Amino acid sequence: MVGSASASPRGEDTFPKILMQNAKVFGSRTAVREKDYGIWQSRTWSEVCEEIRAFSIGLKSLGLSAGDKVAIVGANRPRLYWAMVACQALGAVPVPVYSDSVAEEMAYVLGHAEVKFAVVEDQEQVDKLLSMSDEVPSLTDVIYDEPRGLRDYDHTHLHDYAGLQDKGRDLLAKDASLSDKWEEGFAGGKGSDIAVMLYTSGTTGRPKGVMLSFDNLVISARNGNAFDHLNETEEVLAYLPMAWIGDHVFSLAQAFTAGYCVNCPESMDTIDTDRLEIAPTYFFAPPRVFENMLTQIMVRMEDAGKTKRAIFDYFMGVARAVGEKILNGEQVSMKDRLLYRLGDFCVYGPLKNRMGLTRMKVGYTAGEAIGPEIFQFYRSLGLNLKQLYGQTEASVYITLQPDGEIFGDTVGKPAPDVELKIEENGEVMYRSPGVFVGYFKNDEATAKTKTPDGWVHTGDAGIIADNGHLKIIDRAKDVGKLNSGSLFAPKYIENKLKFFPNIKEVVAFGHERDMAAVFINIDLTAVGSWAERNNVNYASYQELAANPDVYAMIESHVDQVNRDLSQEPMMAGAQIKRFLILHKELDADDGELTRTQKVRRSFIAERYAPLIDALYDGSTSKHVRTEVTFEDGRKGAIEATVEIRDMNAYDAGKGIQEAAE
Amino acid sequence: MNAFVTDKTLSPASGADAAEREELLRVDNVSLSFGGVKAITDISFDILKGEIRAIIGPNGAGKTSMLNVINGFYHPQEGTITWQGKARRKMKPYEAASNGIARTFQNVALFKGMTTLDNIMSGRSLKMHRNFFWQVLWRGPAENEEIEHRRKVEDIIDFLEIQAIRKTPVGRLPYGLQKRVELGRALAMEPDLLLLDEPMAGMNLEEKEDMSRFILDVNQEFGTTIALIEHDMGVVMDLSDRVVVLDYGKKIADGPPEEVQASQAVIDAYLGVSH
């Protein structure tokens, strides 16, 4: 336990207690930074402690008491993180909610959680909560961080965050013993108390409220810190939804237990610049973020001059050949090492700097499988990017890739204190100190997911390889078979296609069908840039997607994937026989993606049933009409005639020869 | 019903208590012609402190000319303009600007090669007090002054939520954002009266909603009086406290939105009857 030794040799078992300890030990170290008015504004641990105390006492004066639930809605703002600990200090349970979810979704979660208070970011969220007051009868008071536009609202049950803190400060000034009383209030808190309730985004059905105890979070966080030797000197960027377990653990639990600094970006649109300025040492991102960064680089390189492109291509070749080996500490010839150094100076260094990853000690990606090519790209640059496999129900960590044992197709070994086993049907199961207490008000679902002796069903199919690493194939229920009996792993095919910068999203079909076929979403940034360079006019996504040249381009990508698939004995049978480019982008507002941007397969299958039929009935085009939801909640419809193309399959193992012809 | 009461009382800006408000600008019997073309004929109206005043009318009705008269770009042949209680003599646009009248333009008029930040900073130039010498030297007082101005500008950037484009040359921005930057530059002058010439022209629905929100916020948070020309009737009716309607250079209606909407003269002007 080297990494966290400096931060947590003590036995503090709840976040309020850890906060008091950090204020003592790290008093003058920066705990939080937020970019505001163009400047990074810092707060030390002792200042944070004061802020949280004032707010907590303010909340108490409003009548918040132990056991109450408090919704936290908004983007990553320090004040919202503080609010969570302020609630915990009173024994109340914070419930962070996805702030961009539509009113109906949010109303369900808040109603189900029976929240009493809500701490929200701004007017937009206040309006949203006001509109759902009938569905959430338990809600009595709303506290907002950003007062703009709210001046003329009725303030009997609406409070300004700063105002409430001032009230807390006044009370503290009047009564000297109040601060001690406040500390006594949580001194008796136990690690087994519920720390937070996180609603899972739910690929299927209604979201479920996962109850996590302080023990779950604190022990998992300390294990995570120790595993990667994280200490109080780390810098992280808090930019992922606060309602997501990953952010909760990385930006709160691990930050508190290790004592490191959390940086909140200025706005959701400035994350790239902010990351560049902060250069986090510990960085977490879902595969999509890494994909986007890579796409942007590739798009820009295509616009670069010939010389630059030649240098880039040459050194990327060097990196592909030896970069990972150097990172893993393997044997590499002197010449290659020197070349790699030179490449680092000319290409990799500047690239890492652009991405804000120069100081990255360790980076993780999880959430879904990352395309092996994308993963290798970052590792070959010398970035210690690793995969982990986790779940809300496990307080994130199930398996992690240890340094030096990175295999693109596995998600690593069991995290510290985690036991792993594979069920007979191939489903992965685990047991750990991070295993959740239960689903809130849903014992039936709890019983289905968690066995009485503490094992949890992940819902993922996987195998444990000879080297002890876990390999996830797909969602247990998604892996299927073609009618020919060949294995059909949709995500595997999708990820292969998604590596192409021109392709943003893919949905593959094939289970219990004669052949594999895919829907494709083009990437508007990449294809748009191509269109600009080639003088192709287009007014909308729909028009660009239907362009014959775009079709030809995508066809060549699909062909390439088929060639790759033909090389893999297990997958050769599932080559893509037909594809189409969807006439609209898949969107979370239309329910096609989850809030964490994962494809909702069954929903899409239902919504685009006519298109799927067309894929399999041999027709070459199909007219469709699709209802869409605009950002303001209005509905509309778009119509299009979608073209469907046939593809050639390669004989297993012969792809390379044909490619060479 | 739950304990969380949901009424939000909007600011008392509607016509009912307009009478109690102080007059900021008054236009009396103004006529403007270019040679034989009469752009504005005998128009009188007032703008009260703190209100949002819309000027509407069909194409060519004289709306933009009216704004140009107010900010001193055109000089009317007849009539008087009373600004903050004082009848105004002939005035240059920059004098109007230093007197607290700011405006945005129908066609975006920004410095395309400059960044968003610099464009908005340029709106502060009238408020820079250090002379050329100090500006060149930059150290010391001029530097402090610049920091002070930058602080104000950052407030506006935060207010308009354009942090992400702070350092982007405005020529590269989409139209809707350029409009927002232009509003930012006008706000940087901390005007008493803000003239907006079709702030939502060419915007999509989402951009219009954002812009409406900003206009309301500017009015409420900064207390800035706003006179705006706009063709989107939905926007005009929702935003403005009082509306003046022009047609062929003449005023045909003046009052709260509901009243104007119901006026037969206005309906005729928009639907077209023979003149």
How many CB atoms are closer than 10 A to CB A508? 26
Q: Is the pLDDT of residue B14 over 50?
A: no
Q: Which of A149, A156, A631 sits opposite B5 (nearest CB)?
A: A156
pLDDT at B4: 46
Q: Which of B164, B217, B220 sits opposite A270 (nearest CB)?
A: B164
**Which carries the bigger pLDDT value, residue A588 or residue B3?**
A588
pLDDT band at A105 (very low <50, low <70, confident <90, very high): confident
> Does B4 contact A630 at a Cβ distance shorter than 8 Å?
no
- Whether residue A538 lies within 8 A of chain B, CB to CB, comes out as no
Write out pLDDT tens, residues B136-145.
Answer: 766 777 788 8
Closest-CA distance of chain B to residue A629, Å: 13
Q: Which residue of A has its CA nearest to B157?
A: A37
Q: What is the 3-state secondary structure (H, E, C) of chain B?
A: CCCCCCCCCCCCCCHHHHHHCCEEEEEEEEEEEECCEEEEEEEEEEEECCCEEEEECCCCCCHHHHHHHHCCCCCCCEEEEEECCEECCCCCHHHHHHCCEEEECCCCCCCCCCEHHHHHHHCCHHHCCCCHHHHHHCCCHHHHHHHHHHHHHHHHHHHCCCHHHCCCEHHHCCHHHHHHHHHHHHHHCCCCEEEEECCCCCCCHHHHHHHHHHHHHHHHHHCCEEEEECCCHHHHHHHCCEEEEEECCEEEEEECHHHHHHCHHHHHHHHCCCC
Query: Which residues of chain B does A152 touch, with a Cβ-Cβ cutoff of 8 Å?
Result: 8-11, 220
Query: Which residues of chain A does B151 touch, with a Cβ-Cβ cutoff of 8 Å?
Result: 37
Write out pLDDT tens, residues B216-241.
Answer: 989 988 889 999 998 888 888 899 99
Q: Distance between CA A123 and CA A179 in Å, rounded?
A: 32
Residue A555 tokens read as 């066809």
Q: What mean pLDDT, rounded, does chain B reach?
A: 84
> Average pLDDT, stretch B91-114?
86
Q: Is the pLDDT of residue A322 over 60?
A: yes
> Average pLDDT, stretch B126-148?
75
Query: Which residues of chain B does A631 touch, with a Cβ-Cβ cutoff of 8 Å?
Result: 206
> Does A130 contact B6 at a Cβ distance shorter than 8 Å?
yes
Query: Which residues of chain B does A633 touch, with a Cβ-Cβ cutoff of 8 Å?
Result: none
Q: Distance between CA A63 and CA A38 in Å, rounded?
A: 37
pLDDT band at B20 (very low <50, low <70, confident <90, very high): low
pLDDT band at B127 (very low <50, low <70, confident <90, very high): confident
Contacts with A, B 201-230, CB within 8 Å = 205-206, 209, 213, 216-217, 220-221
pLDDT band at B18 (very low <50, low <70, confident <90, very high): very low
> Average pLDDT, stretch B158-164?
91
Q: Is the pLDDT of residue B13 over 50?
A: no
Q: Is the pLDDT of residue A483 over 70?
A: yes
pLDDT band at A5 (very low <50, low <70, confident <90, very high): very low
> Does B206 contact A631 at a Cβ distance shorter than 8 Å?
yes
- Whether residue A37 lies within 8 A of chain B, CB to CB, comes out as yes
Q: Is the pLDDT of residue B16 over 70?
A: no
Query: Which residues of chain A does B168 touch, with a Cβ-Cβ cutoff of 8 Å?
Result: none
Interstrand relation of A621-629 and A635-646 (parallel, antiparallel or unpaired): antiparallel
Contacts with B, A 455-474, CB within 8 Å = none
List the alpha helices (DSSP H) in A319-452. 324-327, 334-343, 349-355, 372-380, 443-449
* Percent of chain A whose predicted confidence (pLDDT) is above 90: 60
Q: What mean pLDDT, rounded, does chain A reach?
A: 89
Q: Are B68 and B160 in contact (CB under 8 A)?
A: no
pTM: 0.78
Q: Which residue of B has its CA nearest to A137?
A: B2
Residue B91 tokens read as 């005035």
Residue A322 DSSP class = I
Query: Which residues of chain B does A136 touch, with a Cβ-Cβ cutoff of 8 Å?
Result: 2
Nearest to A263 by CA among A276, A274, A249: A274
> Average pLDDT, stretch B64-88?
88
Q: Which residue of B has its CA nearest to A157?
A: B4
**Which carries the bigger pLDDT value, residue A210 or residue B106?**
A210
> Average pLDDT, stretch A102-126?
92
Q: Is the pLDDT of residue B2 over 60?
A: no
> Does B8 contact A134 at a Cβ distance shorter than 8 Å?
no
Query: Which residues of chain B does A156 touch, with a Cβ-Cβ cutoff of 8 Å?
Result: 5
Q: In what order do the strands lie in the sheet with A470-475?
A: A419-422, A427-431, A456-464, A470-475
> Average pLDDT, stretch A282-302?
90
Write out pLDDT tens, residues A62-81.
Answer: 999 999 999 999 999 999 99
pLDDT at A2: 38
pLDDT at B202: 83
Burial of B66 (0-12, 13-18, 19+ CB in 10 A): buried
Q: Distance between CA A347 and CA A316 in Å, rounded?
A: 8
> Does A269 contact B163 at a Cβ distance shorter than 8 Å?
yes
> Average pLDDT, stretch A297-324?
92
Write out pLDDT tens, residues A533-564.
Answer: 888 888 888 899 999 999 999 999 999 999 88
pLDDT band at B275 (very low <50, low <70, confident <90, very high): low
- Whether residue B5 lies within 8 A of chain A, CB to CB, comes out as yes
> Does B163 contact A267 at a Cβ distance shorter than 8 Å?
yes
Closest-CA distance of chain B to residue A600, Å: 27
> Does B220 contact A130 at a Cβ distance shorter than 8 Å?
no
- Whether residue A270 lies within 8 A of chain B, CB to CB, comes out as yes
Residue B118 tokens read as 């610099």
- Whether residue B164 lies within 8 A of chain A, CB to CB, comes out as yes
Sign of the Cα pseudo-torsion (A2, A6, A11, A15, in order):
negative
Burial of A284 (0-12, 13-18, 19+ CB in 10 A): buried
- Whether residue B148 lies within 8 A of chain A, CB to CB, comes out as no
Amino acid identity of A656?
I
Q: Is the pLDDT of residue A115 over 90?
A: yes
> Average pLDDT, stretch A203-211?
82
SS3 at position A87? helix
pLDDT at A366: 83
Place of tokens 């269109």: A531
Give, in order, the Cα–Cα distances in Å from A22 to each of A8, A32, A247, B94: 9, 13, 20, 57
Burial of A402 (0-12, 13-18, 19+ CB in 10 A): middle
> Does A37 contact B4 at a Cβ distance shorter than 8 Å?
no
- Whether residue A266 lies within 8 A of chain B, CB to CB, comes out as yes
Q: Which residue of B has its CA nearest to A128?
A: B6
Q: Which of A148, A156, A157 sits opposite B217 (nearest CB)?
A: A148
pLDDT at A481: 78
Closest-CA distance of chain A to residue B96, Å: 29
Q: Which residue of A has its CA nearest to B13?
A: A152
Among A171-175, A483-487, B12-16, B108-112, the range scoring the smallest mean pLDDT is: B12-16
pLDDT band at B59 (very low <50, low <70, confident <90, very high): confident
Q: Distance between CA A441 and CA A26 in Å, rounded?
A: 39
Query: Which residues of chain B does A149 touch, with a Cβ-Cβ cutoff of 8 Å?
Result: 213, 216-217, 220-221
Query: Which residues of chain B does A133 touch, with a Cβ-Cβ cutoff of 8 Å?
Result: 2, 4, 6
Write out pLDDT tens, residues A422-461.
Answer: 887 678 999 999 999 999 999 988 999 999 999 999 988 7
Amino acid identity of A192?
S
Q: Is the pLDDT of residue B10 over 80?
A: no
> Does B164 contact A156 at a Cβ distance shorter than 8 Å?
no
Q: Is the pLDDT of residue A1 over 50?
A: no
SS3 at position A367? coil
Host H or E run for residue A544: helix A541-545
Query: Which residues of chain A does B163 touch, with a Cβ-Cβ cutoff of 8 Å?
Result: 38, 266-267, 269-270
Q: Is the pLDDT of residue A58 over 90?
A: yes
Q: What angle do CA A468, A568, A502 make, to 5 degrees?
A: 100
Q: Which of B10, B155, B158 sits opposite A152 (nearest CB)?
A: B10
Q: Is the pLDDT of residue A349 over 80?
A: yes
Among A34-43, A402-411, A646-655, the range scoring the smallest mean pLDDT is: A646-655
